[in-house]
Amino acid sequence: MRSVEVAASWPVENVAVAVVSGGSVVGSLGDQQRVFPLASVTKLLTSYAVLVAVEEGAIEWDQPAGPPGATVRHLISHTAGYAFDKAEVQAEPGKRRIYSNAGFDVLASFVASACEMPFATYLHEAVFVPLGMKSSTLVGSAGAGAESCAADLALFAAELLSPSLVSRELVSEATSVVFPGLNGVLPGYGMQKPNDWGLGFEIRDGKSPHWTGNSFSPRTFGHFGQSGTFLWVDPEISAACVALTDLRFGPWAVEAWTPFSDGVRAELSQRA
């Protein structure tokens, strides 16, 4: 794919891109085995492990978890009321969309307790091993502490497009809006009204500005990370894209990512 070559002009030292369609990589750039810190793209991996735990019956969405009145569903959708970086309650559950790393740490602890093993171990066994993600590890927090490579995340993206570890219905639920209509700040892009989110997956919907392309369907979901990384899936064209860099998110990414992704989507649409 010629569109992925644009990423070679980004102001980064290292970049790896993988585009997935039809269950395989159809375009790539850079060292697909190079391991990068994912920052908040970690939340996609953590969320998928939570889906496995739900599918297995180890936990339930409406189990009480976190602050009083909150549930697993609140924690994973950033509506439990926790602050961004500490388990300090700033709102009643379900009333505001407060993007929270702390909420994901509480969520991971809840899953670890229910499954009687460290969350990093559960993530490894529930997601990484069955998908063959041999270079992926959780070395820090469940919200921002994973490391992986483009090849591994391409396998994960293929799983999101055609689930094998959990039911397609569960993935559909997780990538649909939960607690609709809540406003909130999308880090790096400002206040979004509404700031729609699924069960761990950010939903593009009608957000503007946004890190995905302007041409993307409202059903597009994924996440980006402050380490200069992103993964999006657009179900409308049954395709996904992973981009990993070694330059922290900033104005360069805001300027570069949207036209890049629009170019990738346009080429994919032409190939369909």
CATH of the domain at 67: 3.40.710.10
pLDDT tens digits along 233-267: 999 999 999 999 999 999 999 999 999 999 999 99
**Please, which pLDDT band fits residue 222 given cuts at 50, 70 and 90?**
very high
Domain count, the chain: 1
Residue 180: burial class (beta carbons within 10 Å; 0-12, 13-18, 19+) = exposed
- CA 169, CA 125: separation in Å to the nearest integer? 22
Tell me which residue range forms the domain holding 89.
2-270
Q: pTM for this structure?
A: 0.97
pLDDT tens digits along 116-169: 999 999 999 999 999 999 999 999 999 999 999 999 999 999 999 999 999 999
Q: How does the average pLDDT of the chain come out, rounded?
A: 97
Amino acid at 182: L
